[in-house]
Each structure stands twice: as structure tokens, then as C-alpha cells.
């Protein structure tokens, strides 16, 4: 009974075989079939190789959600050079509630406004990257994934006396409330005032005004590699002494999660405007550099993703199976068409022989080789 049961089970399994074996005596190898097989295997190998590169590649996924963090502080990182002496200018932040934020984290350093050749090369390279980012937005994904951001050349300490240095470098960071505000650099040092905000500008002559500036770096949040800010490398030169430069910034909280780095920071977009202050012509205002920022209520989550292994295997099986079955069908169709063409060609020859006169039939019969002649 056991042997009968095993035989029945084995017979049932054989009947379920979806890949029946063909005896070798029934298989005929042809040159055309070998050529098609060689082409098919080559195509499989090339496509599988290219599919492996697709599997290794990654892409960035962008998601948006509401930013619920209102209690934390916002860090402002500044590195700006103004073409005025440090004793004539002051930088601080005034938020939406008219609260002046202490700028103790900012340092004032007397420098030359002109750059060294190495610094000028860095500056031109940064401007070129900024230009390409405005045209090719997908370049930002590559910068995210590479997480490379080389530090600019260090500032050279000039051997000249401080009195001969006519520019001021303001650099450092500040922590402000996470509300809209105004970071500005204008004439005179800022002083706390119970009723508002004031700068000691009365003792500074208008002839010394020069708000030509260069923004080497301006960012919000933690400093992380892989983000090039829109204002990095911006340089403005003004021929007028009374000049107002305005930058309107929209800050977007960003969570960056790649295979190289995971951090929370901020990105921003900016629009700019500038005008000459001329009260006689109706252009009123205060000379200086004003950066008015606002914080978006949405947060962007940037995640680097990779193709799963199972999806790669499915695509690989689809390539191999699809090419194998397609080339087999094409080979069968081409072989069938060749057989039909040859058969019709031979039938046409025999038909012409039969319709020809008797003398021509004898001549054509002598031209057609027989099996005995071939032997």
C-alpha cells in the first residue's frame, strides 16, 4: 500500500511539471538558433549590468508636514563684509514683537574689502554653483547625497595697521525666537531703548557711508554639509553713499536624512530689492542692509531612498525571461517565414517548367540536378 501511495504521489507530481523535458533525439541545433541565442545572451548581460547600476542609484523623496515646534530657538549664522569701518556700523536683530535680540555672538573684524586670488577663485566658483542651481534644480539632490561642502579659504591677516583697513567683517551666530524678524546692518551701534530701537548714527558723517557688501555666508539652523544657501557669495557694490539693500527671506524648516548625514536645519528662498535714499526725490528710508525673514509653517522632510532588493530581483527576472521568450518567438516566426518563402519559390519554378513547351522542359530538366546526379 505504501509503494502504491508513493507511486501515485510521484505520478501526480510529474503531471504538475510545468517544465517538461524534451528528449535530445527530438532537439535539432541550427546555426540560426545559435546566432539568436548568442545575441539574446549578450543583450541579457548588458541589460542586467545596466539594471545593477540603477539598483545602486538613490533618489531623494520630499514630504511636507506642519511644523509644530514653536518653542525652540532659531540660530542665525552670519559672515558678511561691509565696506565701512567697524566703529561706524552695528548689527542686530529686531523680531516681530519689537524685541531687540542681543548680538553678543557677533564679532567685528577689520579687513580689506578686496579678496585675495584664492578667495576670489572660491567666490567665483560659488557664484557659478548658485547660477547652475537656479537652472538645474536636480543638482541640489546631488549635493544632498554627496554632503560635501569645502570650507572657504581662511581670511588672511593683513600686515597693515588697523587704521588702514577700511572694511569690517561681521561673523558669528545668534539665537532668536522662532518668529519673523529683521536682521540689519546700519550706521551706528545699537542701543537698548524702552520704547523702540535706536542706533547712534548722529556722530557718523554721511561721507563715510558705504554699504557695499559681500555675503560669504548666511544660514539658519545648524550648519550641515550638503546645503548651499541662496545668498552665499552675493556681492553688492554701490556707487552712492546713501543706499538701502533689502532681502526678503522665507525660511523653511528642513529635516535631512541621507545615508551620510541626518540632521534638522533650515532652507530659505530670497527676493531682493535695492534703492538709493534721496529724501528730496521722495525716496525715504534708512541706509543699510536689511534682511527681513519670515518662517514657513510647513516643514520639508528630505529622505534618501534606495530600490529594495526584491524589486531589483523582479526586474532582473523580467529582463531575462522577457528577452528569452521574445527572441524564441522571433526566431520561430522568422524561420516559418523563410520556410514559406522557399516553398513558394520552389512551387513557382515547378509551375514554370510545367507550363513551358516540351523542348524547354527537357532543357530545364537537364539543368535541375537530381538526387542520383548529386550522389
* Structural contact between residues 154 and 111, judged by C-beta atoms closer than 8 angstroms: no
45 domain residue, yes or no:
no
Do the domain assignments include residue 12?
Answer: no
In a domain, 281, yes or no: yes
Query: Has residue 249 got a pLDDT over 90?
Result: yes
Whether 201 has a pLDDT exceeding 70, the answer reads no
Check whether 155 has a pLDDT greater than 60: no
Sorting pLDDT into bands at 50, 70 and 90, what band is 285? confident
Distance, CA of 104 to CA of 86 (rounded, Å) = 15
> In the prediction, which pLDDT does 263 show?
82
Average pLDDT over residues 6-28: 71
Of 213-222, 254-263, 347-356, minimum mean pLDDT range: 347-356
pLDDT at 232 over 80: yes
Contacts of 257 (CB under 8 A, 6+ apart): 301, 302, 303, 304
66/325 Cα distance (integer angstroms): 51
Task: State yes or no: pLDDT of 375 exceeds 50.
Answer: no
pLDDT digits (tens, 9 = 90+) for 310-343: 998 999 898 888 888 888 777 777 666 766 666 7
Query: Residue 156: pLDDT above 80?
Result: no
Is the residue at 363 inside a domain? no
Quickly state the pLDDT bin for 186 (edges 50, 70, 90): confident
Which residues, 6 or more positions from 108, have their beta carbon under 8 angstroms from its beta carbon? 86, 168, 169, 170
**Cβ-based neighbours of 152, under 8 Å, separated by 6 or more:** 119, 122, 126, 216
Give the mean model confidence (pLDDT) for residues 148-164: 56
The 3 state secondary structure assigned to 104-152 is: CCEEEEEECCCCCHHHHHHHHHHHHHHHHHHHCCCHHHHHHHHCCCCCC
Query: For position 166, what pLDDT does the model report?
Result: 83
Flag whether pLDDT at 61 surpasses 80.
yes
17: in domain: no
Range of the domain at 167: 68-296
- Cross-strand bridge partners of residue 244: 275, 288
3-state secondary structure at position 358: helix
- Mean pLDDT for 123-140 is 80
Rounded (5°) CA angle 53-58-63: 155
Distance of alpha carbon 216 from alpha carbon 306, whole angstroms: 35
Q: Residue 301: its pLDDT value, please?
A: 92
Q: What angle separates helix 309-355 from helix 31-56, to the nearest 10 degrees?
A: 160
Give the mean pLDDT of the chain: 79
Among the residue ranges 77-81, 196-200, 355-359, the one predicted with the least confidence is 355-359
Under a CB-based contact definition with an 8 Å cutoff, are residues 68 and 161 in contact?
no
**218 has which bridge partners?**
78
What is the model's pLDDT at position 371? 47
pLDDT of 365 over the 60 cut: no
Per the CB < 8 A criterion, the answer to whether 177 and 72 are in contact is: no
Residue 160 maps to a domain: yes
The DSSP-derived string for 271-300 is EEEEEE-BGGGTB-S--EEEEEEEE-SEEE
Pairing between β-strand 196-199 and β-strand 89-95 as defined by DSSP bridges = unpaired
In a domain, 216, yes or no: yes
Is 110 a member of any domain? yes
pLDDT digits 0-9 by tens, 94-120: 887 766 676 778 899 988 888 888 888
Q: How confident is the model at residue 374 (pLDDT cuts 50, 70, 90)?
A: very low
Whole-prediction pTM: 0.70
Q: Total domain count for the chain? A: 1
Could you write out the DSSP letters of every residue in 147-186? ---PPPPPPPPPSS-GGG--EEEEEEEEEEESS-EEEEEE
User: Is 226 a residue whose pLDDT tops 90?
Assistant: no
Cα(76)–Cα(56) distance, rounded to whole angstroms? Answer: 37
Amino acid at each position: 500500500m505504501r509503494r502504491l501511495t508513493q507511486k501515485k504521489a510521484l505520478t501526480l507530481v510529474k503531471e504538475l511539471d510545468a517544465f517538461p523535458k524534451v528528449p535530445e533525439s527530438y532537439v535539432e541545433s541550427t546555426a540560426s538558433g545559435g546566432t539568436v541565442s548568442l545575441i539574446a545572451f549578450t543583450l541579457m548581460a548588458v541589460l542586467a549590468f545596466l539594471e545593477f547600476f540603477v539598483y545602486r542609484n538613490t533618489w531623494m523623496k520630499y514630504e511636507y508636514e506642519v511644523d509644530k515646534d514653536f518653542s525652540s530657538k532659531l540660530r542665525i549664522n552670519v559672515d558678511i563684509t561691509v565696506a565701512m569701518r567697524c566703529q561706524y556700523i552695528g548689527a542686530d536683530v529686531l523680531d516681530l514683537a519689537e524685541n531687540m535680540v542681543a548680538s553678543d555672538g557677533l564679532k567685528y573684524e577689520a579687513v580689506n574689502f578686496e579678496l585675495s586670488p584664492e578667495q576670489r577663485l572660491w567666490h567665483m566658483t560659488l557664484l557659478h554653483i548658485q547660477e547652475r542651481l537656479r537652472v538645474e534644480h536636480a543638482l541640489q539632490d546631488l549635493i544632498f547625497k554627496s554632503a560635501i561642502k569645502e570650507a572657504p579659504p581662511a581670511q588672511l591677516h593683513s600686515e597693515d595697521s588697523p587704521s588702514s583697513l577700511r572694511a569690517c567683517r561681521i561673523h558669528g551666530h545668534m539665537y532668536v525666537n522662532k518668529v519673523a524678524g529683521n536682521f540689519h546692518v546700519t550706521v551706528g551701534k545699537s542701543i537698548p531703548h524702552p520704547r523702540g530701537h535706536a542706533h547712534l548714527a548722529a556722530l557718523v558723517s554721511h561721507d563715510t557711508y558705504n554699504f557695499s557688501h559681500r555675503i560669504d555666508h548666511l544660514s539658519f539652523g545648524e550648519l550641515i554639509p550638503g546645503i548651499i544657501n541662496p545668498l552665499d557669495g552675493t556681492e553688492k557694490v554701490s556707487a552712492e553713499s546713501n543706499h538701502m539693500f533689502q532681502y526678503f527671506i522665507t525660511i523653511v524648516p528642513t529635516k535631512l536624512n541621507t545615508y551620510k548625514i541626518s540632521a534638522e536645519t533650515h532652507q530659505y528662498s530670497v527676493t531682493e530689492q535695492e534703492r538709493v535714499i534721496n529724501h528730496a526725490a521722495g525716496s525715504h528710508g534708512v541706509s543699510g542692509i536689511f534682511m527681513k525673514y519670515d518662517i514657513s509653517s510647513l516643514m520639508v522632510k528630505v529622505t534618501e531612498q534606495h530600490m529594495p532588493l526584491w524589486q531589483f530581483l523582479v526586474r532582473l527576472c523580467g529582463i531575462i525571461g522577457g528577452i528569452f521568450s521574445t527572441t524564441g518567438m522571433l526566431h520561430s516566426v522568422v524561420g516559418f517565414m523563410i520556410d514559406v518563402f522557399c516553398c513558394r519559390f520552389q512551387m513557382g519554378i515547378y509551375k514554370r517548367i510545367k507550363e513551358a513547351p516540351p523542348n524547354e522542359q527537357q532543357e530545364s530538366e537537364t539543368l535541375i540536378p537530381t538526387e542520383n546526379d548529386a550522389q
